[in-house]
Amino acid sequence: MTLSPRPGRLAGKVAFITGAGCVGPGWGNGRAAAVLFAREGASVFAVDLEAETMAETVARVEEEGGTITTHLCDATDGAQVEAAVRACVARFGTIDILVNNVGGSAPGGAVILSEERWRAQLDVNLTSVFLACKQVIPVMEAAGGGAIVNTASTSACAGPVRPRSPTPRPRRRSSSSRASRRSSTRPSGSG
Ligand SMILES: NC(=O)c1ccc[n+]([C@@H]2O[C@H](COP(=O)([O-])OP(=O)(O)OC[C@H]3O[C@@H](n4cnc5c(N)ncnc54)[C@H](O)[C@@H]3O)[C@@H](O)[C@H]2O)c1
């Protein structure tokens, strides 16, 4: 997908982005949002667990002449999120855009995942969103509005993963044979 640049669209806005680094080299969704938002004029408050990974985000934003401040924070820890939101307001005065980007998926279903891993998945994908909203929404309300973006995944639209059936299922009749059967058993003109 190609994004048409809209310079100045976010001028004067403050964006609080969680997971603004990337686990590997290149682009993660948080880093991409930070760079795009800064390109369009927003001041970016970039939050991540890792300082190292945010260094590349900062370099890319600054290359484009954007404004970015980083803050180390575990997005699943309420006290740390509260401190991060306070630090952002102290630095930029408000928050107009919250990007809840922290998340990820551990492989495996109910049988394979450990209970500990399951709870960690809930924390990283859901609790992180709850905690940031809890702190940021009052700031937005005081300012008269704001926008919240939650990064999700198209995996949510995929069906359940089924193990391969050991015995082949009976073959379904083809649609043409079903159609011919219907037309031969229905009285004509029944609609
Ligand atoms: N990469 C994909 O193919 C893909 C596909 C669909 C959805 N997503 C979603 O995009 C979002 C970002 O994933 P990505 O793969 O683009 O980025 P990524 O996983 O490369 O980077 C995420 C960043 O979040 C940080 N992070 C992880 N846990 C954190 C925590 N508890 N607190 C603060 N920071 C934390 C990591 O240090 C990392 O810098 C996730 O919500 C993911 O589910 C990714």
Instruction: Give the pLDDT score at 185.
Output: 39
Instruction: Give the pLDDT score at 158.
Output: 74
Determine the distance separating the centroid of ligand 1 and the alpha carbon of 104, expressed in angstroms: 6
Q: Using a 6 Å cutoff on CB, does residue 53 contact ligand 1?
A: yes
Q: Tens of pLDDT along 18-65?
A: 999 999 889 999 999 999 999 999 999 999 999 999 999 999 999 999
Please give the residue range of the domain that contains residue 46.
Answer: 14-152
CATH code of residue 38: 3.40.50.720
Does 158 reside within a domain? no
Does 18 reside within a domain? yes
Does 78 reside within a domain? yes
Does 173 reside within a domain? no
Q: Using a 6 Å cutoff on CB, does residue 57 contact ligand 1?
A: no
Which of 102, 117, 130 to mutate for ligand 1's pocket (most ligand atoms within 8 Å of CB)?
Answer: 102
Q: In what order do the strands lie in the sheet with 97-100?
A: 67-72, 43-48, 14-18, 97-100, 147-150
Instruction: Give the pLDDT score at 157.
Output: 80
Does 144 reside within a domain? yes
| Number of structural domains in the chain | 1
Does 8 reside within a domain? no
Pairing mode of beta strands 147-150, 97-100: parallel
* In contact, 89 and 95? CB cutoff 8 Å: yes
Instruction: Give the pLDDT score at 125.
Output: 97
- Decide: helix, strand or coil at residue 50: coil
Does 75 reside within a domain? yes
Bridge partners, 69 (sequence order):
45
Instruction: Give the pLDDT score at 31.
Output: 98
Alpha helices in the chain (DSSP H): 29-39, 51-63, 78-92, 115-122, 128-143, 175-185
Q: What token pair was written down for 150?
A: 């939650």
Does 86 reside within a domain? yes
For the chain, 191 residues long, give each residue's pLDDT as a single digit of tens.
566 778 899 999 999 999 999 998 899 999 999 999 999 999 999 999 999 999 999 999 999 999 999 999 999 999 999 999 999 999 999 999 999 999 999 998 899 999 999 999 999 999 999 999 999 999 999 999 999 999 998 877 876 656 555 566 666 655 554 444 444 434 443 33
